[in-house]
Amino acid sequence: MASHELKVSGRSETGKAAAKRLRRSGLIPAVAYGHKEEPVKIVVNAKELRDLLAHHAGHGLLTLKYDDATPDLPVIIKSLEKNHVKHTVNAVDFLRVSMDEEVTITVPIMLEGEPVGVKIDGGVLVQAMHELQVSALPANLPEQITVDVSELIFNGAPIHVREITLPAGVKAITDGDESIAVVNAPTVEEVEEPVASEEGVEGEAAEGEEGGDGTSGGGKEE
């Protein structure tokens, strides 16, 4: 799988005030840790990170390229601290990886094709699983897993994790019996029959008790 690159610079300032200053200048504070080495504090360009996430979602192997003589650093994105109001990233945690050691990550599942059960029988495609946990060497880490659903039939068996074909060198960690997608019958909304109110029932009963001449009780007037 291809490795994407992200330019970074070292940083010495820490703390909330410093982080705010960096974000105002278009930079995002980050840290790279793991592999029994000291964490490294860095900054990344906010626009470059945003473009990376927009096109590749940040999954798979990533190479951090310093703006000085510091050696490139192979990493994966471990976590993103997001501002959900502004839809921006406040901070990033990178995890160092060794190219000869397997890494476990979670990647998105993308469905491909139009199921027979939808095209011919009018069923509804339901995606039961949207992410898959996989393990692979960093160079083999996929950005996503594509699953062909074109053979799914109406009300038939679902596609299970154990049935999908993974890229070379990639193995699934998620339980193989988990369902990924299925074609179900369309949901039909039930229309409830109108129910007579108690007042209506009592009114009908009262009318039934009236005599043929409209008087109640069935007695004759004298």
Q: What is the pLDDT of residue 2?
A: 63
Separation between Cα atoms, residue 184 and residue 188, nearest integer Å: 12
pTM score over 0.85: no
Strand 37-45 and strand 73-83: pairing? Answer: unpaired
The encoded tokens of residue 35 equal 């592999």
Write out residues in the chain with pLDDT < 70, as ranges. Answer: 1-2, 188-222
Q: Could you give the domains of the chain?
A: 4-96 (2.40.240.10), 103-184 (2.170.120.20)
> Residues 89, 83: contact at Cβ < 8 Å?
yes
List, for residues 113-149, the tens digit of each pLDDT value.
999 999 999 999 999 999 999 999 999 999 999 999 9
Residue 220: φ, ψ to 5°: -95, 140
Alpha carbon distance 1, 144 (integer Å): 11
